[in-house]
């Protein structure tokens, strides 16, 4: 049995709900404590209600469960964040600060912090976005993650906290739904294609964004967390990518499986957010430092998504 004991903050989200089970497979069910501010739909092991801003409860939880590693996933995403900027800053940035401080005081071995393509902005090079580049994000979510990256770097350099971070592209998976992001269309489209045979995209047909399949996100996350500390040379956050496509290209791929599928486009406020992000990412630092390599592309992801979701909508 593994000695490490894992705490997941924000376990009910798109990624958390998948990562909890993957971590339980690796560490044992009772070695992974899932926490969030609401109860999960399905409990697959220990769960506790926990608000990341409640520092005393965080300390108590770490002591009670003898936690050695933290995956801090709790955040308000890009589109939802715009409805309440100060709350988003508070949850995303002050939440991270409380986690980093608790990690320092309680001698947590490793912390994972997801960053995002939302740290990029209109001054960032759009194609093959380099690791080090101008970051002038347009959303409060992007601002909080940019500042968060700097705090991770600071806590590592100043206090030796072993915090590791990835700039996730849009995440697509069949297991869970995203909530309140700008890349959410790329998950919704599969469900609507199978349910209704049509989808209205809230982004224009030629909006190209970097994306990644859930299986690869999990592999990347375990890849960086398993690596020797000396290999993690970047302590703000690593660029990460797998594929880039537009809504039109995604629809064409879905059509190969569902020939009658139709798409139309009604861009809303999320278009401006997507326009401020970049088209493709250079993740060579992650590849060189700790061996990152994606396995899914648009065609294999689409095949897998439809394979898993089809039974769910068979009788609709
Ligand atoms: N998927 C996120 C969003 O759209 C980006 O990190 O907000």
Using DSSP's 3-state secondary structure scheme, residue 145 falls into helix
Domains and CATH numbers, the chain: 6-171+213-239 (3.40.50.720), 172-210+242-313 (3.90.25.10)
From the list 199, 210, 214, 9, the residue with the least C-alpha distance to 91 is 9
**Catalytic one of 27, 65, 71, 141:** 141
Given a contact cutoff of 8 angstroms between Cβ atoms, the answer to whether 286 and 293 are in contact is no
pLDDT at 185: 98
> How confident is the model over 83-92, as pLDDT tens digits?
999 999 999 9
State the average pLDDT over residues 93-103. Answer: 98
What average pLDDT score do residues 118-130 get? 98
Question: 282 C-alpha vs ligand 1 centroid, how far in Å?
Answer: 18
Q: Which residues pair with 171 in a beta bridge?
A: 212
Task: Specify whether 27 is catalytic.
Answer: no
pLDDT at 251: 98
- The residue nearest atom 6 of ligand 1, judged by CA position, is 116
| Pairwise CA distance, residues 279 & 100, whole Å | 31
Query: Which residues lie with the beta carbon below 6 Å from any ligand 1 atom?
Result: 77-78, 116-118, 168, 170, 181-183
Q: Report the separation in Å between the CA atom of 186 and the middle of ligand 1, taken as the mean of its atom positions.
A: 11
Percent of the chain with pLDDT over 70: 99
Ligand 1 centre distance from Cα of residue 1 (Å): 35
Q: How far is CA 9 from CA 75, 211, 223, in A?
A: 9, 23, 20
Check whether 315 has a pLDDT greater than 90: no
Element (H, E) at 42: none
- Which atom of ligand 1 approaches the CA of 178 most closely? 1
Distance 101 CA to ligand 1 centre (A): 26
Confidence of residue 225 (pLDDT cuts 50, 70, 90): very high
What's the rounded Cα separation, in Å, for the pair 46 and 39?
Answer: 11
Mean per-residue pLDDT over the chain, rounded: 97
Q: CA of 125: how far to CAs of 37, 87, 129, 211, in Å? A: 37, 30, 5, 17
At residue 2, the pLDDT reads 74
pLDDT digits (tens, 9 = 90+) for 260-275: 999 999 999 999 999 9
Q: Given pLDDT bands bounded at 50, 70 and 90, which one contains residue 1?
A: low
Q: What is the pLDDT of residues 145-167, one digit of tens each?
A: 999 999 999 999 999 999 999 99
Token pair, residue 190, equals 């599969």
């Amino acid at each position: 049995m593994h000695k490490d004991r894992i705490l997941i903050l924000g376990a009910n989200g798109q990624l958390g709900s998948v990562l909890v089970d993957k971590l339980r497979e690796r560490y044992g069910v009772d070695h992974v404590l899932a926490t969030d501010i609401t109860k999960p739909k399905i409990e697959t092991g220990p769960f506790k209600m926990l608000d990341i801003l409640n520092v005393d409860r965080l300390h108590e939880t770490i002591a009670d469960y003898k936690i050695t590693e933290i995956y801090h996933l709790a955040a308000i995403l890009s589109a939802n964040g715009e409805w309440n900027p100060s709350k988003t800053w508070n949850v995303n940035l002050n939440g991270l600060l409380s986690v980093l401080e608790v990690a320092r005081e309680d001698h947590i071995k490793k912390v994972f912090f997801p960053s995002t393509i939302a740290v990029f902005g209109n001054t960032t090079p759009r194609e093959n976005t380099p690791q080090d580049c101008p970051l002038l994000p347009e959303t409060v979510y992007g601002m909080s993650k940019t500042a968060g990256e700097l705090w991770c770097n600071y806590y590592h350099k100043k206090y030796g906290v072993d915090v590791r971070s990835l700039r996730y592209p849009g995440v697509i998976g069949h297991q869970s739904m995203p909530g309140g992001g700008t890349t959410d269309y790329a998950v919704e489209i599969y469900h609507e294609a199978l349910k209704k045979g049509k989808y209205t995209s809230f982004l224009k047909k030629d909006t190209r964004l970097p994306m990644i399949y859930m299986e690869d996100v999990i592999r990347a996350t375990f890849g960086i967390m398993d690596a020797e500390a000396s290999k993690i040379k970047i302590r703000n956050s690593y660029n990460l990518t797998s594929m880039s496509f537009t809504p039109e290209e995604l629809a064409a791929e879905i059509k190969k499986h569902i020939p009658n599928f139709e798409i139309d486009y009604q861009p809303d406020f999320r278009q401006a957010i997507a326009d401020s992000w970049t088209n493709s990412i250079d993740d060579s630092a992650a590849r060189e430092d700790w061996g990152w390599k994606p396995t899914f592309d648009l065609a294999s992801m689409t095949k897998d998504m439809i394979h898993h979701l089809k039974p769910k909508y068979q009788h609709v």
